[in-house]
Structure 1
Amino acid sequence: MNIIHTDAAPTPRGHYSQAVEHNGLVFVSGMLPELGVIDPGTHDFMQQAEAVLRQCEAVLAAAGCRYADVVQATVYLVGVENWAVFNDVYSRFLGTHKPARVVVPVPALHHGYAVELQLIAALPNGRNAM
């Protein structure tokens, strides 16, 4: 098992890693917009979604992956009215790649944010992370 960490994404504020690689799969922890950089009171949903996707992209890169390697995504959204906006932002980052996905509407997320994203990716060519 390899712990994945990059300074290009927020340092976890709890007892977990940004991501863990095991047996050729990369498990990216649930990612919120970066606290202190993206303020949920002044940044709209689109800005929060873009921040989360950039952060996840950085963690994937640290593991040697890209969005094209993602096999499953779990999205937590505050307010189903944000679903269409998230779809638009998500499709810009993932392009034509369409991994399995679940969207879970929730009443609230930590620190007042409106989106959290968790990913599972397969390392290219079944190799192990560095």
Structure 2
Amino acid sequence: MKQIIHTDSAPKAIGPYSQAIVSNGLVFLSGQIPLDPATGAIVEGGIEEQTVRVLENLKAVLEAAGATLDSVLKTTIYVKDLGDFAKVNEIYGRYFPANPPAAG
């Protein structure tokens, strides 16, 4: 049995998919982009602001599913400019300070 997860604290899905699905005790999250859930617009600023927004969106969906960032097993990060990777990594580390998930 699967449970569809939806929260107004994260951007609405922009296609025919759910923000997350819970099945057999696991939470499967859809990818996020730096959309402000209040406006539906990409957040102002640079890669730092965008990274924070994406992680806050993921956190909101996890919380709606009854989970936390500590529950995350694996993440996949895409960056347009590899020169931004160090900035993304630094912010990512704030959200996963101990025992971070596997990354791919």
1:85 equivalent in structure 2: 87
The equivalent position to 2:43 in structure 1, one of 38, 41, 46, is 38
Aligned residues: 99
Letter in 2 for 1:38: V
Match of 2:100, as an amino acid? K
RMSD over aligned CA atoms reads 1.1
Partner of 1:73: 75
Which residue pairs with 1:105 in the alignment? none
**1:106 counterpart residue number:** none
Q: Where has structure 1 moved over 6 Å in runs of 4 or more?
A: none
TM-score, scaled to structure 1? 0.73
Q: How does 1:47-126 map to 2 (within 5 A)?
A: 47-102=49-104
Give the letter for the 2:43 counterpart: I
Give the Cα–Cα distance (whole angstroms) in 1 for the partners of residues 22 and 57 of structure 2: 17
Q: Which has the higher contact order (CA 8 A, sep 6+)?
A: 1
- Name stretches of at least 5 consecutive residues in structure 2 with no aligned partner: none
| Percent identity between the two aligned chains | 38
TM-score, normalised with respect to structure 2:
0.90
Bigger proportion of residues as strand: 1
What is the CA–CA distance in structure 1 between the aligned matches of 2:26 and 2:79, rounded to whole Å? 25
